Chain A
Amino acid sequence: MSQPRNVLLLVGSPRCERSNSHVVGKFLVDKLEEKGLVSEEACAIRLVSTRENAEKLWSFVDNADVIVLATPLYVDSFPSPTVKALELIHEHRKAVSPTKSQLLVAIMNSGFPEKEHMDIALKIIRNFAQASNFKWGGGIRVGWGESLNSEPLNEKKGMTRKLTRGLSLASVNLSEGQPISEEAENLASALFVPLFLAKTIIRLVVNPGWNKQAKDNNAKAKMHDRPYAHGS
């Protein structure tokens, strides 16, 4: 593949710019911009509802040499608008038979700390890439994504050091038209603390955090309600 010029960040989260998916994808795309690529951004949920929107989606994809799909894990796969976007892109590419080589990179993020939760979702995106004539650019799995708190990634912060180093390495590969290296994939996919510690923190800190959020919404007493139990 020749030197790529254009990169598209396609955000799969319905929260679009406010999402952790955007935060991670944006960091990678910013690094690619530093290397001379021109970037565009699109959010799947805004581009799948009408034919006119779908044409915008196709135009974004057609223009890009590198597509970064950054999406959260929803029910073991990715959100329905992202599935719809993949269906539409596939339909378009079957009709137009693209000739230029394009790289597709996936960044998954999940609230669960184990990377394995995201394996099947990544496999589905890889299947899509193959079926739709994209060159597979690699997949990054960001566990415990909620800990990013939708804040821009900071290279100097311990919590995001591995992730940012991995994404920076990935940007070097992609800027040369190459899939991201195994080293970059592994580094970007590494948790910032050992898994056992992440699991402990999640149980001891994150679980009470749900109660705090419910309390703020005057819903704490209802947290265990079963509104659809038989007879309700």
Chain B
Amino acid sequence: MKAVIFNGAKKGDLTINSIETALTDQLVEHGWEVEPIELRNMQIAACLGCFGCWVKTPGTCVINDDGRETTRKAIQSDLMVWLTPVTFGGYSSDLKKALDRIIPILLPYFESYHGQIHHKMRYKKYPKLLVIGVQEPGVDYAETFTALAERNRLNLRPSAYAASVFQRSKNPETIPAFVEEQLKKAEVIS
């Protein structure tokens, strides 16, 4: 079983790096192969909104950079983890640049799903999805953050899913237990 971790943190974010380490340790302990990707170090251009990945080179972005690789790794994994500082309730720009580029894993065609129009799925199977945000003290964007992840779940239809926020002010020693709880919620471990 393969897991890919999209780390959208800035350099030197100790909390997010500790969460990444705890995730890696626990997944490896359960027999998973884990690949963390520090997105800030990847050459991923912004999605141009050209729809070329749907109507010119279906399934592959027209931009030939690391964005193609991150997309390939995402769809070939059994678990995709998104790690990010909570940014006004959303994801960091580093995580977002990778996510904007994964739309070729969907088809352009529209269909009704859960009462709303969504894109049809390109692949037969999609990885489980775990979304973890780290929130600064003094703000409370957890509801917006988990609602955003829930919208992503509707559009990407992972086989299992969990999303949660870790408060940066919390004792770092609680990180392993937090991570274990999230992996259970995402049905990765029992």
Contacts and interface: CB of A to CB of B under 8 A. Distances in A.
B49 A15 contact: yes
Contact of B48 (A14, A90, A116, A120): A14
A187 to B, nearest CB: 22
B151 A210 contact: no
Interface in A57-81: 72, 74-77, 79-81
Interface stretch (A2-10, A152-160, A216-224): A216-224
A117 B96 CA distance: 17
Given A79-B100, A228-B72, A14 B89 contact: no
Contacts of A222: 57-59
Interface string B148-172: 1001100100000000000000000
Interface string B85-121: 0011111110011011011010111111000111000
Interface stretch (B23-31, B139-147, B178-186): B139-147
Nearest to A125: B88
Contact of A83 (B51, B96, B141): B96
B116 A117 contact: yes
A75 B49 contact: no
Contact of A80 (B51, B59, B97): B97
Interface string A206-232: 110010011011010011111111100
B103 A80 contact: no
Interface residues of A, number: 52
A192 interface: no
B147 A120 contact: yes
Contact of A203 (B46, B50, B96, B111): B111
B144 A124 contact: yes
A90 B85 CA distance: 14
B71 interface: yes
B159 to A, nearest CB: 15
Given A76-B151, A79-B100, A124-B144, A86 B47 contact: no
B151 A213 contact: no
Contact of B92 (A14, A83, A113): A83
Contact of B139 (A112, A131, A216): A131
A112 B117 contact: yes
Contacts of A219: 55-58
B58 A214 contact: yes
B100 A202 contact: no
B148 A114 contact: no
Contacts of B122: 224, 226
B116 A114 contact: yes
A210 B54 CA distance: 8
B76 interface: yes
A123 B155 contact: no
Contacts of B47: 14, 74, 79-80
Contacts of B76: 228, 230
Q: Which 10 A-B pairs have the closest CB atoms?
A: A84-B93, A80-B97, A76-B151, A80-B96, A83-B93, A213-B55, A127-B88, A128-B88, A124-B90, A227-B59
7 contacts: A87-B92, A113-B117, A114-B117, A120-B147, A213-B54, A214-B56, A223-B55
